[in-house]
A and B are shown apart, each in its own frame.
Chain A
Amino acid sequence: MKDSTKPLGRVSRRGALKIGAAAAALPLVHMQTAYAAGSLKLGFWDHWVPAANPVMKKLVDEWGAKNKVHITLDLLSSGTANSKLPLTQAAEALSGTGHDVLAFNTWDVQHYAQHLMPIDDVMDAQIKKYGAIDPMAQYLATVKGHWMAMPTSVGSQYKPSCARISLFKKEGYDVEKWYPNKPGNASTSTAWTYDLMLKLAPKAKAAGLTFGLGLGQTTDSVDWTGTVLRAYGGVLVDEKGKSQLRSEPVMTVLEYFQKLVPYLPADTATYDDASNNKALISGKGGLIFNPPSAWWVARRDAIKVAADCWTFPNPSGPKAKSVPYLPYFWGIWSFSQNKTAAKELITWLQQRPQVETLTNASAGYDISPFNSMHNFTIWTTEKPPVGTIYNYPLRPWFDAVSNVSGYPAPPHIATQLYSNATFNVMIVKLTKQGQKMKDVLAWGERQIESYVNM
């Protein structure tokens, strides 16, 4: 009764100062909880090379522990008939909830750009630190001049030539001299051209080592035919969105395929992303265009085949030496609850020491979008034979460019050219289904017109 009726005492100036000092000192003494900086949900690509996943888990956990962020890492598959990642992207974009950071394949950044947070500050800092970035990565990750996702090394790949050394030697060509496992110069590799590939294709077939090159509708098939087009200076649609289907380079490449296709595998029209790997590993393929994963599996399952393989850039064409490129990205959803931590984590993961650790774990499969990170030791030491994947990254003296099929069309058209495999369907119609050139071109024109108007 006494206490309850007592009027509240007035706070003296001295008392107020004491309270203020105590409040100011509170952050210095308070106990930090284990995950004081919140949590992050990551949806990364489930790596083809299984050994790479635990290393990624270890790295993100290490960063999480250091920065007091609770991290959940989901590994999502992406590939032929195994498309958890693209489905997750669509579901999360539509629902506005899910992971904070998600992996995006080649065209996916363009598909979901309106749901992603721009990260110009992160990319500007990366470029300042590591130099020039792959122009294709920039083409795919930027919208109206803004970086909408970070090109990452994890899962990114080139698809260069992987050839049987003995087959080429038998025909008088030494691929190890063309592209030795040491620094060279552009002139050493001028012999490897599409004309030579056409000359060797019948001989390879006769020797039971048919070139395992597909004309199907999945990425490996689409990537290499687009690269041939680029090497001849052709584009299906130019950067202004205008069809170039009836241009001379496109016609030349279609005629080239008329000559080449009879010497490709009988089922080339239905090749998927595993077919070229099988061609090499079974010992029946003399040449494929693929990242080192095929060689890696051969090393595990067919060591004699692996010891006879050498990786080097794709052939040169009249206008360029072009290598297929299929990059991955990490994007931060605009609905993420912890954008600052997300930015810090992906930036940390793409610093040189972490990139090298991840590349080593993937046996050299992962490739950074920065040229300055194309000199890791792993590509020099992997064997057999020693240095077999030395020429997997684009070395400065190659004088080669990376390519994404569909480039340089505006991305909303290019993605349709790519996913509908428009050029491959044209080649198959022309070479396998007996259609005339004018009909195939007319079909292609209709397709492109519909992509432009969509």
Chain B
Amino acid sequence: MADGTTAVTAPALRGIAQPARRGGLQRFARRRSTLAFVMCLPLFLLIAGLVVYPFFYSIYLSMLNREMTRFVGLFNYLYLLSSGTFHLVIFQSCLFAITAVFFKALIGFILAHVMHNISGRDQRIWRGLLLIPWVIPPALSTLGYWWMVSGDYSAINWILQLFGLHPVAWLANTWTARMWIIIVNVWFGTPFFMIMYLATLKSVPEQLYEAAAIDGATGLQKIRYISLPMLRNIIGITVLFSLIVTFANFDIVEILTAGAPANTTHVFATYAFQVGINSGNIPMGAAVSLFIFPILAVFSIFILRGIGRRTQEAI
């Protein structure tokens, strides 16, 4: 130190180290992964602002008291689990989402095959017509259905009366009301399944069907042994996507029944609105809507695991 060697050596080392560090930073900046991260950053920020933050904020809200002045832990969740009305909401939400998604997938699958076997211009016309329910805003479609099935003034009851039959109070009976809610959702959502399946069917090599035909396979056997295995992943993804959307559905129930009769048609979203906004209990409303999360998480785990396994097998 005293002879000055350090004073000479240190700047020299710094002089050597600095270009190396600059070079390292440049290399880091030029790395494809860094570039990709920087380019994705706006999206990450958007997701953080619009998904992650609201999610954790709603968890925080759900643990406050009614006036949002005191932390109450899991009280709101325990309260809901002990409520008979909320049991009905869970039942109705699951019944609605699972039944609706099942029928959307089934009808979409059938329609996709029918479409696939129609050729040329005709297919384009039918495809366009069948997509109409999907492009009409669901609130408008639901209002249309409401006019068809509500009370004494509905179109369906008018037809029934033309044939000398008594009008039916479709929305006043729990099970017929549930049935119509599912029907409206199926009517609206089926085209999405159809178009997804049709797109996948078009990518299935035609030779597979030709080979099966030479082997004497029937139409059903072709579906069972060729179409279904080829469509399994897209079925899984569309079912998962639709489950998420259907579980969170609000407008159909709100317009058709608003939860009546006697709370038997409420789903998570409409009940959360009733409790959170109409009753002024935002924390409880947040707790209701968060119940969707574990249910969807279970569905997601099973469906995505299946897709992942099949993809691994394919590789």
Residues of chain A whose beta carbon lies under 8 Å from any beta carbon of chain B: 80-81, 83, 86-87, 90, 94, 107-108, 110-112, 114, 210, 216-218, 265-272, 275, 278-279, 282, 284, 412, 415-416, 419-420, 425, 428-429, 432-433, 443, 446-447, 450, 454
A86 in contact with B260 given A81-B254, A114-B67, A443-B84 (CB within 8 Å): no
Which chain A residue shows the least CB distance to B65?
A: A454
Contact B277 A90 (CB under 8 A): yes
Contact A217 B260 (CB under 8 A): yes
A80, A81, A443 pick with most chain B CB within 10 angstroms? A81
Q: Nearest chain B CB to A441's CB is how many angstroms away?
A: 14
Which chain A residue shows the least CB distance to B254?
A: A81
Contact with A along B186-206 (1 / 0, CB 8 A): 000000000000000000000
B82, B139, B170, B259 pick with most chain A CB within 10 angstroms? B259
Residues of chain B from 172 to 214 with CB closer than 8 A to chain A in the complex: 172, 174, 177
CB contact between B262 and one of A416, A419, A429 (< 8 Å): that residue:
A429
- Chain A interface SS verdict (over half): helix
Count B interface residues, CB 8 Å. 42
Q: How far is the CA of A83 from the CA of B282 in the complex (A)?
A: 15
Q: Nearest chain B CB to A102's CB is how many angstroms away?
A: 14
Q: Nearest chain A CB to B142's CB is how many angstroms away?
A: 9
Which chain B residue shows the least CB distance to A428?
A: B262
Q: Nearest chain A CB to B275's CB is how many angstroms away?
A: 8
Closest 4 CB pairs of A and B: A111-B280, A266-B169, A269-B261, A419-B278
Contact A217 B277 (CB under 8 A): no
Residues of B within 8 A of A110 (CB): 280
Q: How far is the CA of A367 from the CA of B282 in the complex (A)?
A: 31
- What are 18 residue pairs bridging A and B, where the CB atoms are less than 8 Å apart in the complex? A90-B276, A94-B282, A107-B280, A110-B280, A114-B69, A210-B152, A217-B259, A217-B263, A269-B169, A269-B172, A270-B172, A279-B151, A284-B153, A419-B274, A419-B278, A420-B274, A446-B84, A454-B284
Residues of A within 8 A of B259 (CB): 217
Q: How far is the CA of A216 from the CA of B263 in the complex (A)?
A: 10
Residues of A within 8 A of B33 (CB): none
Residues of chain B from 255 to 293 with CB closer than 8 A to chain A in the complex: 255, 257-263, 273-282, 284
Contact B83 A450 (CB under 8 A): yes
Q: Nearest chain B CB to A268's CB is how many angstroms away?
A: 7
**In the complex, B150 has a CB within 8 A of chain A:** yes
Q: How far is the CA of A114 from the CA of B67 in the complex (A)?
A: 8
Q: Nearest chain B CB to A382's CB is how many angstroms away?
A: 27
Q: Nearest chain A CB to B43's CB is how many angstroms away?
A: 24
Q: Nearest chain A CB to B66's CB is how many angstroms away?
A: 6
**In the complex, B171 has a CB within 8 A of chain A:** yes
Contact B281 A454 (CB under 8 A): yes
Contact A108 B258 (CB under 8 A): no
Which chain B residue shows the least CB distance to A266?
A: B169
Q: How far is the CA of A419 from the CA of B275 in the complex (A)?
A: 8
Contact B254 A267 (CB under 8 A): no
Q: Nearest chain A CB to B27's CB is how many angstroms away?
A: 45
Contact B153 A278 (CB under 8 A): yes
A81 in contact with B258 given A415-B279, A432-B172 (CB within 8 Å): yes
Contact A282 B258 (CB under 8 A): no
**In the complex, B225 has a CB within 8 A of chain A:** no
A266 in contact with B152 given A429-B262, A454-B284 (CB within 8 Å): yes
Q: How far is the CA of A210 from the CA of B280 in the complex (A)?
A: 35
Residues of B within 8 A of A216 (CB): 258, 260-261
Q: Nearest chain B CB to A323's CB is how many angstroms away?
A: 23
Contact B261 A433 (CB under 8 A): yes
Q: Nearest chain B CB to A117's CB is how many angstroms away?
A: 17
Q: Nearest chain B CB to A86's CB is how many angstroms away?
A: 5
A415 in contact with B280 given A266-B169, A267-B169, A270-B177 (CB within 8 Å): yes
Contact A267 B152 (CB under 8 A): yes
Q: How far is the CA of A87 from the CA of B169 in the complex (A)?
A: 32
Q: How far is the CA of A268 from the CA of B169 in the complex (A)?
A: 9
Contact B152 A81 (CB under 8 A): no
Residues of B within 8 A of A432 (CB): 172, 261-262
